Structure 1
Amino acid sequence: MTAIVCLALSAAAVVIAVLRGTRGRFRSALRWAAVALVPTGLYLTGLITVFDRIGRALGDWAAHLVFDPKVWTGVVMLGAAALLLLATGIRRGRALKPSEPAAEAKGRTAPPAVKGRTAPPAVAAKKPYREDDFSDIEEILKRRGL
C-alpha cells in the first residue's frame, strides 16, 4: 500500500512538472520534478518505515505523558534546568557598550604620562562589525560612480 501511495504522489508531481514546463515555466517545472523524486526515494530507501516508527513512538510518549506522573516529574526537572540556566546567564562576561572605553570597562586607569612626554592620543574605538553594515561597499561604489 505504501508503494502505491508513494508512486501516485510522484506521478502527480510529474504531471504538474510537465504542465509547468509546457507553459514555459522551466524553473518551476524543475522544482516539481525534484519534488516528484522525493516520495519514491523515501520508499526505496526504507525511510517511510523509519518515519512510521518515529511517529508511533512519539504518539505513545504523548499518550503516556497525560497519565504518567513519572513523565511529569521529568518535564518539571527539565523546565527547572532551563530556568536555572537562563537565570544564571549562559554567556560569560558582559558586552562593552560602544561609548564605554576599554580601560574603564576593565576597572583600570590609563598609565600616567612620563615626564616630558604626553600621553598618546586615544585610539578611536572601532564600531562593532555588523553583517548589515555595507558602508565600505557603498563608499567604493560611489567612488566608481555606480
Structure 2
Amino acid sequence: MLTGAVAFVLTAAGVAVAGLRAYRRRFLSATRWFAVALLPAGLYLTGLFPVARTIGDEIADWAVKLVFDPRVWTGIVLLAVSAGLLVTTRWVGRRGAVTEGREAATPAAGPAPARPAVAPAAPEGAGKAEKAEKAGKAGKGKGDDGLGEFADIEEILRRRGI
C-alpha cells in the first residue's frame, strides 16, 4: 500500500514539473519529464517493484559474498586469467606468429622481383620525355627496389593530372 502511494506521488510530482516546462514553452523537455513521470505508476501497476526489490537484494547478497567469500575471489581470478589468455592469443594471432594448420612461410632472400609496368598505348602527341620514361620503367628488371607495383599507380595519377 505504501509503495503504491509513493509511486503515485512521484508520478504526480513529475507531471507537475512537466506541466511547468510546457507552460514555459519547452515542449521537448516537458515531454521527457512526462515520460519519466509515468514510470513509477507503470512499474507499480505492472507489479515490477517487487521484482526490482528482489534483484536489488540478490545484488546486495552477491556484493557481501564478494567481500568475504574466497570462492568468489577464486572465480574472479579464473575469469581474469581467461580474459588475459583470450587477449594474448588474439594479439599473438594478429602479429602473425601463430598460423593455423601450416608452417610460417620463410621470407625470400632479397627484395621481391618487380612487375614490369604495363603502359597504355601512347596518344598521338606523346612527347619524347614520356616515351623515354616509359622505356626506362620497362627496362628496370630484378634490380628494382621492390616498388615496381607502384609504377602503375603513378602512371594512372600522372594521366589524371594529380
The TM-score range, normalised by the shorter chain, is: 0.5 to 0.7
Instruction: Establish whether residue 69 from structure 1 lines up as the match of residue 99 from structure 2.
Output: no
Q: Is the partner of 1:122 in helix, strand or coil?
A: helix
| Aligned counterpart, 2:152 | 122
Question: What does 1:7-22 correspond to in 2, within 5 Å?
Answer: 7-22=8-23
Q: What root-mean-square deviation, in Å, do the aligned CA atoms of Structure 1 and Structure 2 show?
A: 3.0
| Aligned counterpart, 1:78 | 79
The CA distance in 2 between the partners of 1:82 and 1:42, in whole Å, is 37
Q: TM-score, normalised by structure 1?
A: 0.62
Q: Is the partner of 1:113 in helix, strand or coil?
A: coil
Closer/same/farther in 2, CA of residues 113 and 23 from structure 1, 3 Å limit: closer
How many pairs align?
112
| Aligned counterpart, 1:30 | 31
| Aligned counterpart, 1:89 | 90
| Aligned counterpart, 2:42 | 41
Unaligned runs of 5+ in 2: 96-107, 118-134, 139-147, 155-162
| Aligned counterpart, 1:98 | none
- CA-CA distance at 1:64 after TM superposition: 1.4
Tell me the alpha carbon deviations over residues 22-72 of structure 1, each in whole angstroms, 9 at most, x when there is no partner.
122222111111111111112222222221111100111111122211111
More divergent stretch after superposition (35-44 vs 8-17): 35-44
The CA distance in 2 between the partners of 1:74 and 1:28, in whole Å, is 45
Closer/same/farther in 2, CA of residues 91 and 27 from structure 1, 3 Å limit: farther
Q: Is the partner of 2:94 in helix, strand or coil?
A: coil
One-letter identity of the residue aligned with 1:65? L
More divergent stretch after superposition (50-59 vs 80-89): 80-89
One-letter identity of the residue aligned with 2:152? A
The CA distance in 2 between the partners of 1:74 and 1:50, in whole Å, is 27
More divergent stretch after superposition (66-75 vs 6-15): 66-75
- CA-CA distance at 1:113 after TM superposition: 3.4
Unaligned runs of 5+ in 1: 95-106, 125-146
One-letter identity of the residue aligned with 1:24? R
Q: As a proportion of its length, which structure holds more helix?
A: 2
- CA-CA distance at 1:85 after TM superposition: 1.9
Instruction: Establish whether residue 53 from structure 1 lines up as the match of residue 54 from structure 2.
Output: yes
Higher Cα Rg, which structure: 2
